[in-house]
């Protein structure tokens, strides 16, 4: 039988469901395509008017509003927090017509103390970033399986992980004919995709590339406020500087269905992080696979967990900015965009599909109950 078919799965995500999709959303849709009955619960919403369950028919899953609110829960004893987490999950299960086979938790700050199996037979903690490892100690110790996008995250949790596996970021295969090769205007086109309001983004580096290379046009695809239902927003003075730079184009939020086509029309793509000030937050990035799927060259800030991809990325050394390397990369764009190098990047990205990752995770879950394990 196919992995996850007919299983009831509750995905808990810190990012809301919307037109922009990242890993949590892609896992949800991939599980639904695999035949699972998927319930997707986004960030907590305490408005009493939104205590509902809404069908998302086109994606084959159910969107669930999380209205649980218990102020000061983190200050209670662990046994009290465990009871409240169990009551929280029981309420969600009642609204969804019954308990779940798997609680697939991408949010280390909800269901942290859950031990009960009454409404979740298996508890997964899936970590996409880990800026402060101690925040995940308790939820990791209560999880049946911890999944992390880098081995360093699992290592950082140490003895708090009973069972853990490293599953890198994933990618959705693109249908044929979605690449673009046309250009508008002259000079190289450089792209960045992502939330412009995150604190560890190296916008100064992007501005420096724009000013030092006025022949280039830099396209910024992504929101600068309230991304995925969050409250973060770009500082007004920085937003004004970006808007006033003549060769920077702010495109705003772009639907996931259009992003690949937009990125494949670029000559160069950027991963622009301030890794010197934020080394833990910038060790890895889900956007790398999205970029590599286009085949286009990627100029990236230093990411400690991805140094093994040196043949696929142009990565800045630790403590340096991508702006330091931009001149050399732009001079050699014809080499970086050679067909054989583009094919190598695409092949690597294709090998990291979500469907392949689900098979690995299913194998790990089966091994949890294997009587032959020692």
pLDDT for res 371: 44
Question: Cα–Cα distance between 136 and 139 in angstroms, integer?
Answer: 5
pLDDT in tens, 4-19: 999 999 999 998 888 7
pLDDT for res 374: 36
Beta strands 53-56 and 61-66 are antiparallel
pLDDT for res 185: 58
pTM for this model (two decimals): 0.71
Closest CA to 201 of 249, 272, 268, 270: 272
pLDDT in tens, 84-116: 999 999 999 999 999 999 999 999 999 999 999
DSSP track, 22-47: -HHHHHHHHHHHTT-EEEEEEEE---
How confident is the prediction for the chain on average, in pLDDT?
88
Question: Cα–Cα distance between 24 and 15 in angstroms, integer?
Answer: 8
In the predicted model, residues of the chain with pLDDT beneath 50 are 371-374
pLDDT for res 373: 41
pLDDT in tens, 135-180: 889 999 999 999 998 888 899 999 999 999 999 888 877 655 556 5
Closest CA to 28 of 3, 59, 50, 2: 59
DSSP state of 205: H
Q: Locate the DSSP E strands across 302-349.
A: 314-315
Backbone φ and ψ of 124, nearest 5°: -110, 140
């Amino acid at each position: 039988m196919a992995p996850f078919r007919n299983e009831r799965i509750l995905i808990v995500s810190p990012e809301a469901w919307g037109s922009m999709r990242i890993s949590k959303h892609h896992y949800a849709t991939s599980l639904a395509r695999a035949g699972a009955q998927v319930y997707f619960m986004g960030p907590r919403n305490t408005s009493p008017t939104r205590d509902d369950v809404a069908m998302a028919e086109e994606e084959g899953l159910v969107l669930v509003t999380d209205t649980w609110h218990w102020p000061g829960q983190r200050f209670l004893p662990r046994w009290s927090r465990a009871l409240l987490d169990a009551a929280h999950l029981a309420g969600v299960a009642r609204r969804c017509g019954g308990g779940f086979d798997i609680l697939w938790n991408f949010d280390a700050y909800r269901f942290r103390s859950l031990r009960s199996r009454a409404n979740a037979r298996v508890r997964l903690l899936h970590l996409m970033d880990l800026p402060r490892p101690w925040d995940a100690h308790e939820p990791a110790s209560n999880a049946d399986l911890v999944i992390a996008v880098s081995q360093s995250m699992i290592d950082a949790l140490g003895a708090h992980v009973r069972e853990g596996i490293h599953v890198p970021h994933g990618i959705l295969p693109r249908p044929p004919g979605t690449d673009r090769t046309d250009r508008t205007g002259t000079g190289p086109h450089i792209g960045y995709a992502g939330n412009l309001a995150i604190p560890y983004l190296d916008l100064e580096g992007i501005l420096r590339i724009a000013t030092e290379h006025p022949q280039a046009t830099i396209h910024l695809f992504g929101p600068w406020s309230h991304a995925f239902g969050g409250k973060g927003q770009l500082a007004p003075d920085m937003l004004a500087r970006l808007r006033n730079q003549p060769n920077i184009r702010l495109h705003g939020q772009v639907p996931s269905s259009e992003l690949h086509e937009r990125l494949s029309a670029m000559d160069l793509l950027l991963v622009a992080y301030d890794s010197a000030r934020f080394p833990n937050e910038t060790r890895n990035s889900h956007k790398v696979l999205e970029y590599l799927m286009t085949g286009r060259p990627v100029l990236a800030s230093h990411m400690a967990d991805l140094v093994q991809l040196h043949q696929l990325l142009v990565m800045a050394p630790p403590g340096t900015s991508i702006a330091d390397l931009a001149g050399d990369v732009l001079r050699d764009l014809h080499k970086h965009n050679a067909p054989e190098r583009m094919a190598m990047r695409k092949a690597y990205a294709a090998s990291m599909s979500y469907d392949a990752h689900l098979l690995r995770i299913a194998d790990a879950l089966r091994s949890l109950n294997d009587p032959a394990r020692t």
